[in-house]
Amino acid sequence: MDKLHRNERIGALIKILSDNPNKIFTFGYFTELFNAAKSTISEDIAIVKDTMEKFGFGIVETISGAAGGVKYIPLISKEKAKAFVRDLCTRLVNPDRIIPGGYIYMTDIIYSPEIVNIIGKILASQFVGLDADYVLTVETKGIPISLVTAMNLNIPLVIVRRDSKVTEGPTVSINYITGSSKRIQTMSLSRRAIRENTRSIFIDDFMKAGGTANGIIELMREFRNEVVGIGVLIETLKPDNKLVKNYISLLTLDEVDEHKGVIGIEPSALFV
Amino acid sequence: MDKLHRNERIGALIKILSDNPNKIFTFGYFTELFNAAKSTISEDIAIVKDTMEKFGFGIVETISGAAGGVKYIPLISKEKAKAFVRDLCTRLVNPDRIIPGGYIYMTDIIYSPEIVNIIGKILASQFVGLDADYVLTVETKGIPISLVTAMNLNIPLVIVRRDSKVTEGPTVSINYITGSSKRIQTMSLSRRAIRENTRSIFIDDFMKAGGTANGIIELMREFRNEVVGIGVLIETLKPDNKLVKNYISLLTLDEVDEHKGVIGIEPSALFV
């Protein structure tokens, strides 16, 4: 490639780093791509670093040593996260969302690319230091936010199934009892999906008593995998003695009053 | 915000446009954000445009008029797409992937954020001109690639369920017969999920005879929604008289020979 202007290098650097969060690029990669000296790239990266921080896009980290290079960690500031969660509440309290039985219609929100993008970034920001190997979820509604969390952490997504599939080879299945309605449920995962002695983060859209999260921890024991973090979009206020500890949620749902048409939902403690 | 250097503005412009594909930003948005004159922003955008094209990141389009502004269309070049599809083949032909029954283990690939990111961009590149309102998929394996396609097109994702859920209100369900194994299957979708008189693109991981795609077209008729595009990651070579026409696929699977340990998979015609 011909010599580039600094503007163009900065632009391309930001695009490449931003498209590949938490991935380490060597300086050599950029000296070759841009046909530029290492000192030039170092100066470029200093500008990229400042720009990312100035606009609250996240952190650019330079790692020294043989395996060194540069990586971009997308972090959402506490303020941006809080404003987003407040805005989400405003959308969710709309009484038109009430579904007979006391449920809230929210698939339009949890499948919306724009919203899912931010939820995934907020969740990834919470778990970025945990050195996890996988993001886990159980089908179906939590998949979009889990995928974006995995994208931002740059680790594989693993989707636990409700029934075992012949197309995925030998599977490990467990039965577990849901925490709230006390029904027996099954979850199952291909033996190949997880390496032993690894760590994972469980992400889901909703947590009531925590039966599913508890089931996931049990299932992961069979894979010698430790669940080191749990994040959900919405938890319910009751029961307050959840089956799992150490989880985070963005929103807390109190109750849905069908007759009065009132949805009681608020930012969770972390985002007030 | 204080006056910024051009470098910083270019960097921030690329980050914002890149994080919001196919979304129109007004010039006013940037003049305010950067505290800069409109002429300055115009010059910045010209540089952004050149940089994006020079590196094959896609197209930056300026739209004139009252509803005008600038948007970024992430396009993957034919050459990059072909190279990626070839590389995917190389990974998939590994005989360790063969699962008893003649299946291929590939969830590690279709859930990998890095790979899904590119598959979604390739699919979006194919459908960007169709002016669709939704990306549709049916649970479960096609969800990650569908979400990334939807993100790149900046339109909502809609996930059709295998069974109807009480939590999503009134649903429309259809029974359909799978094209290959002739089994009766159900698919169902909340009445609220789709507005009438809209267009959609159906994305899935796998197509054999096209029974599922055909079922989706039938289901969408109930919503007065027209399926204007169909894209799958892998289609099978046989049967060649699929139940739907006008679909694209990235890969074509011929056969899996369990005994010889051979997987016959190749780039589809579009990507040879």
pLDDT band at B1 (very low <50, low <70, confident <90, very high): low
Sequence-ordered list of residues with C-beta below 8 angstroms from that of A259, at least 6 positions apart, any chain: none
Domains of chain B: 6-73 (1.10.10.10), 78-271 (3.40.50.2020)
Distance between CA B162 and CA B250 in Å, rounded? 25
Sequence-ordered list of residues with C-beta below 8 angstroms from that of A260, at least 6 positions apart, any chain: none
Q: Which residues of B touch A116 (CB under 8 A)?
A: 147, 151
- How many percent of chain B have pLDDT more than 90? 90
Residue A70 pLDDT > 90: yes
Q: CB–CB of A24/B25 below 8 Å?
A: no
pLDDT band at A237 (very low <50, low <70, confident <90, very high): very high
pLDDT at position B95, please? 96
Q: Report CB contact under 8 Å: A51, B7.
A: yes
Q: Tell me if residue B170 falls in helix, strand or coil.
A: coil
The two counts, helices (H) then strands (E), for chain A are 8, 12
Tell me the per-residue pLDDT of B32-75, one tens digit each, with 9 for 90 and over: 999 999 999 999 999 999 999 999 999 999 998 877 899 999 99
Is the torsion defined by CA of A234, A237, A239, A241 positive or negative?
Answer: positive
Chain B 191-220, residues with CB within 8 Å of chain A CB atoms: 192-193
pLDDT at position A33, please? 96
Quick check: A6 contacting B, CB < 8 Å? yes
Q: CB–CB of A140/A117 below 8 Å?
A: no
Residue B163 pLDDT > 90: no
Q: Which helix (H) or strand (E) holds A249?
A: strand A247-257
pLDDT at position B117, please? 96
pLDDT band at A246 (very low <50, low <70, confident <90, very high): very high
Tell me the per-residue pLDDT of A90-147, one tens digit each, with 9 for 90 and over: 999 999 999 988 899 999 999 999 999 999 999 999 999 999 999 999 999 999 999 9
**Measuring CA to CA, which residue among B266, B230, B262 is closest to residue B248?**
B230
pLDDT at position A166, please? 76
Quick check: B32 contacting A, CB < 8 Å? no
Could you tell me the CA-to-CA distances from A2 to A8, A10, A223, B47, B119 in Å, in that order?
12, 15, 51, 16, 30
Q: CB–CB of A227/A201 below 8 Å?
A: yes
Helix B6-19 vs helix B38-54: angle between axes, to the nearest 10 degrees?
60
Tell me the per-residue pLDDT of B139-157, one tens digit each, with 9 for 90 and over: 999 999 999 999 999 999 9
Q: Report CB contact under 8 Å: A107, B190.
A: yes
Tell me the per-residue pLDDT of B246-264, one tens digit each, with 9 for 90 and over: 999 999 999 999 999 999 9
The partner residue sitting opposite B151, judged by closest CB among A20, A117, A169, is A117
- Its pTM stands at 0.96
Sequence-ordered list of residues with C-beta below 8 angstroms from that of B39, at least 6 positions apart, any chain: none
Tell me the per-residue pLDDT of B221-232, one tens digit each, with 9 for 90 and over: 999 999 999 999
Q: Which residues of A touch B20 (CB under 8 A)?
A: 114
Q: Which residues of A touch B140 (CB under 8 A)?
A: 139-140, 143, 159, 161
Tell me the per-residue pLDDT of B231-248, one tens digit each, with 9 for 90 and over: 999 999 999 999 999 999
Residue A1 pLDDT > 70: no
Residue B180 pLDDT > 90: no
Quick check: A150 contacting B, CB < 8 Å? yes
Quick check: A167 contacting B, CB < 8 Å? yes
Q: Report CB contact under 8 Å: B169, A193.
A: no
pLDDT at position B105, please? 95
A261, two tokens: 């048409």
Q: Report CB contact under 8 Å: A8, B52.
A: no
Q: Which residues of A touch B51 (CB under 8 A)?
A: 7-8, 11-12, 15
Quick check: A96 contacting B, CB < 8 Å? no
- Interface residue of A167, A198, A234 to substitute, partner B, most B CBs within 10 Å: A167
- How many percent of chain A have pLDDT more than 70? 100
Chain B residue nearest residue A161, CA to CA? B140
- Interface residue of A143, A154, A190, A203 to substitute, partner B, most B CBs within 10 Å: A143
pLDDT at position B40, please? 95
Buried b (16+ CB within 10 A) or exposed e, A157-183: bbbbbeebeebbbebbebebebbeeee
Residue B184 pLDDT > 70: yes
Helix A6-19 vs helix B38-54: angle between axes, to the nearest 10 degrees?
70
Chain B residue nearest residue A150, CA to CA? B113
- How many percent of chain A have pLDDT more than 90? 90
